[in-house]
Amino acid sequence: MAGAIFDESPAFKKYMEQKGGITTVLKTMDNCYDYLRYYAVMSVSNYMKARYVGQSEGAAKSIIVAALKQTSPFLMNKLSADVLRKMGQAGADRCLTMLEKLRTVFRQRLETLDWLSDATRQEALKKLEAMQFFVGVPDNLSEGEFTLDEGNTLVEDALSIMAQNVAIRHNMCGKQIEQQIRAIIDYEIDYSTKNAFYNCEMNCLVILPLFISEGMFPADDEYTQYAVATVFAHEMTHGFDARGAKYDKQGYLTDWWSSESKAKFEAKQQEMIALYNRMEAYPGQPADGKKTLAENMADYGGMTLAYSLFKQKKIDEGLQGAALDYACREFFLHYAKLWLEYPTLAQKQALYLDVHSIPQNRVNVIVTLFDDWYRLFNVTDGKLYLAPEKRVQIW
C-alpha cells in the first residue's frame, strides 16, 4: 500500500506529533532514510492522502523521487554521486577546454568592437575574465561523506546544509562569496537534469553532467560538439544580455556602461525585438520579441562565438574554398538539428510562459544575422531574407 510509505515513517510521525520544525525532527533521527522520508512527507503531505489513494507503490515512489529532487537535490545528488560522475566525467574536460576557447574568442571580439567605449570595453573584459565555470559534478559531492548505516553523519550534514541554506538565503541581497557560490551550486541543483545555466548574481556558468555525456557532447563528433558549444556560449553571453549586462563582474547590480555605449546597446536590443516580432510563435500567434529578448540575445551570442571558433579552427587546419564551405554548412545544419522540434498546440501554455523563443525561431532568426549563412546556402530573397544593414551585430 502506498499509504504505508508515509504513515509508518517515524519521521512523519514525529513531524505530525511535534511540528517543531526541521531541526527538532532531524536531531532525533538516526539514519538517512528517515531524513529522506521526512523530506518526502514534507513535500507531499498536503495532498498525499487524496493523491495516493489507489496508486501503485511504484507510481507513488516515482512521485516521491520527483518531490525529493525538488526539495532536497543535495541529498539526491549524494545518493547517486557515482552514477552522475560516470555520466558526465568523459565530457567534463572537453567541455572546460571548449569553454576556455569560447572565452578567448569572446575576449578577442570585445577587444575590437567599435561600438563599445574604451571604459565600457575594459569593464566587459573584466567581467568575462571573472566568470567562473562549474562543469559536471563538484569534487566535494563525495559519496564517502555519506553513511547509511553507521550513525548520524547524514543528519549532521543535513543540519549544516539547512543552516547554510538559511544563511545563504538571508544574504541573497548582499554579496556572495566563493564559498556561498559553491554552497548554492552544491546544495540546490539537481544534477540529474540535462541543463546548463548562467547566474547573474554570481557571474558563473554551470553545466550539469547529463549535458556533457557522450550522447550529447561526443568525443568523436566535432560537428555535434560545436553545435552544443553554441549552447555553452549562449550561457556565457547571458552575462551580457539585456538583463545580465546590468550586473558587474562580481554580480553586483551596477551600471558599468558609459552612456554612449549604453545607448548603442539599447538600440541593438530594439532591433532584436523587432526581428522576432515579425515571426510567429506558432501558427497564428505572433512571437513576442520583448519577452524573449534576453534569450534571443544569448542565442545570437552563442552562435556568434561558436561559429567564429569553428570556422577559425577549420581555416587553421588548412581548409579553404569548397572544403571550408562544406564544413561551415555542416555547422549550420547541426545547429538546426539541435532545435529540430516544433511546439504543438498542446504546449501552448508552456510556450506562453517560456522566455525562450520557439525552437524553429531559435534557428530561423539567428541564422539570418550571419552573412555566411546567405552565401553558404545561396539565400538571396524569400521570407527569411534580411538586407545586410538589418542583420543586427552585437558581439
Binding site for Zn ion (CB under 5 A): 295, 298
Residue closest to Zn ion when measured from CB atoms: 298
**By C-alpha distance, which of 283, 271, 293, 218 is closest to 386?**
271
With a CB cutoff of 8 Å and minimum separation 6, the contacts of 351 are: 281, 282, 343, 358
Q: Select 63 or 251, whichever has its Cβ closest to Zn ion.
A: 251
CB 303 within 8 A of CB 230: yes
Least spacing, CB of residue 298 vs Zn ion, in Å = 5
Q: Select 222 or 354, whichever has its Cβ closest to Zn ion.
A: 354
Give 205's strand partners.
133, 198
Least spacing, CB of residue 291 vs Zn ion, in Å = 13
Least spacing, CB of residue 365 vs Zn ion, in Å = 15
Which helix (H) or strand (E) segment holds residue 133: the answer is strand 132-135
Least spacing, CB of residue 202 vs Zn ion, in Å = 16
Q: Select 184 or 293, whichever has its Cβ closest to Zn ion.
A: 293
With a CB cutoff of 8 Å and minimum separation 6, the contacts of 327 are: 310, 314, 319
Give 133's strand partners.
205
Q: Select 123 or 241, whichever has its Cβ closest to Zn ion.
A: 241
Q: Select 123 or 295, whichever has its Cβ closest to Zn ion.
A: 295
CB 186 within 8 A of CB 138: yes
Least spacing, CB of residue 118 vs Zn ion, in Å = 29
Give the other-Cβ count within 10 Å of 198's Cβ. Answer: 20
Least spacing, CB of residue 188 vs Zn ion, in Å = 18
Least spacing, CB of residue 370 vs Zn ion, in Å = 19
Pairwise CA distance, residues 13 & 18, whole Å: 8
Q: C-alpha grid cell for residue 206?
A: 554551470
Least spacing, CB of residue 294 vs Zn ion, in Å = 7
CA angle 59, 61, 65 (to 5 degrees): 120
Least spacing, CB of residue 255 vs Zn ion, in Å = 23
**3-state SS class at 151:** coil
Q: Select 159 or 338, whichever has its Cβ closest to Zn ion.
A: 338
Q: Select 9 or 203, whichever has its Cβ closest to Zn ion.
A: 203
Per the listing, cell 529578448 goes with: 293
Which helix (H) or strand (E) segment holds residue 282: the answer is strand 280-282
Q: Select 2 or 242, whichever has its Cβ closest to Zn ion.
A: 242
Pairwise CA distance, residues 301 & 309, whole Å: 12
Q: C-alpha grid cell for residue 132?
A: 567562473
CA dihedral 269, 270, 274, 275 (to 10 degrees): -30
**3-state SS class at 363:** helix
CB 127 within 8 A of CB 239: yes
Pairwise CA distance, residues 185 & 204, whole Å: 10
Q: Select 14 or 103, whichever has its Cβ closest to Zn ion.
A: 103
Q: Select 31 or 237, whichever has its Cβ closest to Zn ion.
A: 237
Least spacing, CB of residue 349 vs Zn ion, in Å = 20
